[in-house]
Structure 1
Amino acid sequence: MNFEQLKKRVERSEQVVDGRILQTRLSWSGLQTNWKEGWTPPRIIIVGALLGFISGKAQPARAMRHVGQFANPKMMQLVTSVAGLVASVQSSFAASKAQTAADTADDAATTADVAATTADAAAGGAAGGAAADASMSAARVAAGSTATMHPFDADRPRSDRSRPDPQWDRQPSPAEAATDLSER
């Protein structure tokens, strides 16, 4: 077997593994969905009643004596340290998600600033209100916002949304534009 045949064989094996990973993820998500949909309130009540009946018949006092043999101070120390470890991992995961969100907001602010500058250049000295409207719409499009509603539209009744948007006397700062877009 030469090198090219080995290389093709390895590439094929990698493709098979990638396919199996994809199948596993799809099966896992399907299982999660079915599991969550399967736990309806009547089923939860029935399972709770059955487990309560079984635990009552299992002589809980005797079972608690057996649990006491394993619940020594060293075991409790192990449980609390594992709980601390889990909390630490969860907080680091949340911090990484927050950092990702901050980076995304920063990118949106930069994109909105570039769009506003482009809109000003395109307006070519048009009236301030028209340039502000163009920069706001360009910032929405550049930041990937599909909503065309103005921030004040959420407060207005549905029938009153045909009213024109208010004219702004200045452009929003990049931070304001990014905040406006991230709140949608």
Structure 2
Amino acid sequence: MSFDKLIAKVTQAEDALEANERRVGADLRQLKQSWKASWTPTRIMVAGVVTGFLVGRAEPLRSAARGGSVVRIVSLLSGLFASTAATHAASEAEQAADTASDVATAATPEVPGSAHDAAAAAASERIAHERLLRHAAAARQTNAESVD
């Protein structure tokens, strides 16, 4: 083969490679556009739920396989219990604040101005805060017992 034929063959291969690169780039752009268009909010939520479920199923099984599984599973469950208890305590505190506000409004004679509103708000805030502290302490105690 002559040198000119080798140069022509290399040039032809370079042109073919460049054409393939352009085609692959166009395909990737099309794939990217299709991928973004297909991820609707519903599909994102479904993918999140499925992924969360699979990770939730896999983590306890992975912990059990490594050994010391009882302690890890109990700590996972106690963390779940503590977060659930804290959420429940927050909702109860909100209900207590609403109840305290209603009681303070009913028990106090009609006082014009914002002094009455401020007193009722302060009382309900104090009651809600105390209740939230009690529930948080109970959740910490439960978590500490389950770790031991």
Structure 2 length as normaliser, TM-score? 0.40
Q: State the structure with bigger RCO (CA 8 A, min sep 6), 1 or 2.
A: 2
Higher helix residue share: 2
